[in-house]
Amino acid sequence: NAGVTQTPKFQVLKTGQSMTLQCAQDMNHNSMYWYRQDPGMGLRLIYYSASEGTTDKGEVPNGYNVSRLNKREFSLRLESAAPSQTSVYFCASSDGAGESYEQYFGPGTRLTVT
Amino acid sequence: DAKTTQPPSMDCAEGRAANLPCNHSTISGNEYVYWYRQIHSQGPQYIIHGLKNNETNEMASLIITEDRKSSTLILPHATLRDTAVYYCIVKIYNQGGKLIFGQGTELSVKP
């Protein structure tokens, strides 16, 4: 089991460029999440998908879009990157979206926008 | 949203028990307490969670007070590899299971 995988591991973008961060899980989990972590801070939720076919905004959704491609894959798109989006992005998955399900995290994508 | 308060940093001697406190005085009756840790900016790692009873697994024990306003994570025999930032989180009920991360406690295990 690879768990949660993310690609790429590192990325440098220029302001205004677009890119898609990919996330996949092989645990047959129903729910998937995208978080960002700025230096010295805890993680903040960007978007989540409680089940295949649904997506919802989290705390900081502005500037991002998501696609739940299928049960395994959940992608995060930056349409026009800004320096404020320089961060580490973590994807997570869980068996359910209820309060008693733990989330499993990927290794992160380190994004720098210049 | 239920908020948590943790000390910003703690030290522990290798081989001793590490006791990490957390206050969550506004927790609701159906909200769980979760603990995660993050080593070196890797992805957070799930440790344990509980509702009202004390819980134990292969990694740690979780002690929740009877009024549920605070909890303690116990690592029974801390090793150098337990050096990490530990997050105490109250999971939001009925909001997609989202986790609200605070600043966490930076635990340094020293030889």
Q: B43 vs A92: CB contact, 8 Å cut-off?
A: yes
Question: In B, which residues are within 8 Å of A107 by CB distance?
Answer: 42-43
Q: B44 vs A43: CB contact, 8 Å cut-off?
A: yes
- Looking at the partner chain, which of B44, B98, B102 has a beta carbon nearest the beta carbon of A45? B98
Q: A103 vs B101: CB contact, 8 Å cut-off?
A: no
Q: A108 vs B96: CB contact, 8 Å cut-off?
A: no
DSSP A5: E
> What is the rounded distance in angstroms from the CA atom of residue A71 to the CA atom of residue A82?
30
pLDDT of residue A95: 86
Range of weakest confidence among A13-17, B5-9, B93-97: B93-97
pLDDT of residue A12: 97
pLDDT digits (tens, 9 = 90+) for B31-56: 889 999 999 879 999 999 999 989 99
**Residues 6+ away with beta carbon under 8 Å from B32:** A99, A100, B49, B50, B51, B90, B91
pLDDT of residue B1: 57
B49 touches chain A (CB under 8 A): yes
pLDDT digits (tens, 9 = 90+) for A39-65: 888 889 999 998 888 999 998 999 999
CA nearest to A34, candidates B74, B99, B80: B99
pLDDT of residue B95: 62
